[in-house]
């Protein structure tokens, strides 16, 4: 639907376009990465129409006018975007809450590039993701590493999927909730 050749590496962001998501970091990093790998396509899924219009302007100002904005999509279509992607990104530059998208990213089996901040490191580690400092140069390096080394990216994606299937299942969630409730009652 995006008219991207199947052999073109796709870097995917999914989620809201709120300021805390770090899209400014993604735009700056995408501009840097594009200089080395102009074949890579960065796709963003999400954002209300006014946010997408503003994001397109911000991306162009950052030198990343080549990005593809797919807009808001129904939740049932998100897995198809994840399946089409080679790399999944979470560029948050602040915060402590883990983005819910991280759990979906883990289950996808794709390599994740995220910032090395508490918002991500509560769940992600170097064993399951490429973690970078929240700077454009470092985030671009993470994207380029993920795209440039498919074998290592596959290993990280497999490890991420394994983590999701053991630690972040619905059953594991229920067990941790029971343990928390038991601790509160005690």
Share of the chain above pLDDT 70, in %: 100
- Residue 95: what pLDDT? 86
Per-residue pLDDT for 3 more than 80? yes
How far, in Å, CA of 125 to CA of 15, rounded?
A: 21
- Residue 175: what pLDDT? 81
How far, in Å, CA of 145 to CA of 169, rounded?
A: 29
- Residue 131: what pLDDT? 98
Average pLDDT, stretch 179-184? 87
Average pLDDT, stretch 13-42? 96
How far, in Å, CA of 7 to CA of 79, rounded?
A: 19
Quick: pLDDT tens for 126-181: 999 999 999 999 999 999 999 999 999 999 999 999 999 998 877 877 787 888 89
- Residue 149: what pLDDT? 97
Q: What is the Rg, in whole angstroms, of the alpha carbon atoms belonging to the chain?
A: 17
How far, in Å, CA of 134 to CA of 92, rounded?
A: 8
Whether the Cβ atoms of residue 22 and residue 109 lie closer than 8 Å to each other: no
- Mean pLDDT, the chain, rounded, equals 94
Quick: pLDDT tens for 45-74: 999 999 999 999 999 999 998 999 999 999
């Amino acid at each position: 639907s995006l008219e991207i050749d199947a052999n073109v590496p796709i870097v995917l962001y999914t989620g809201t376009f709120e300021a805390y998501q770090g899209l400014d970091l993604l735009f700056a990093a995408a501009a840097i990465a594009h200089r080395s790998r102009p074949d890579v396509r960065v796709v963003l899924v999400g954002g209300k129409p006014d946010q997408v219009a503003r994001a397109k302007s911000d991306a162009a100002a950052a030198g990343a006018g080549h990005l593809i904005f797919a807009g808001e999509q129904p939740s049932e279509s998100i897995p198809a975007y994840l399946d089409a992607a080679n790399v999944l990104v979470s560029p948050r530059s602040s915060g402590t809450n883990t983005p819910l998208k991280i759990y979906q990213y883990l289950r996808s089996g794709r390599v994740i590039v995220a910032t090395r901040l508490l918002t991500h490191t509560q769940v992600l580690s170097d064993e399951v993701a490429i973690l970078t400092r929240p700077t454009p140069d470092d985030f671009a390096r993470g994207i380029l590493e993920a795209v440039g080394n498919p074998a290592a990216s596959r290993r990280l994606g497999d490890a991420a999927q394994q983590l999701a299937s053991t630690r972040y299942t619905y059953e594991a969630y229920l067990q941790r909730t029971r343990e928390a409730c038991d601790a509160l009652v005690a």
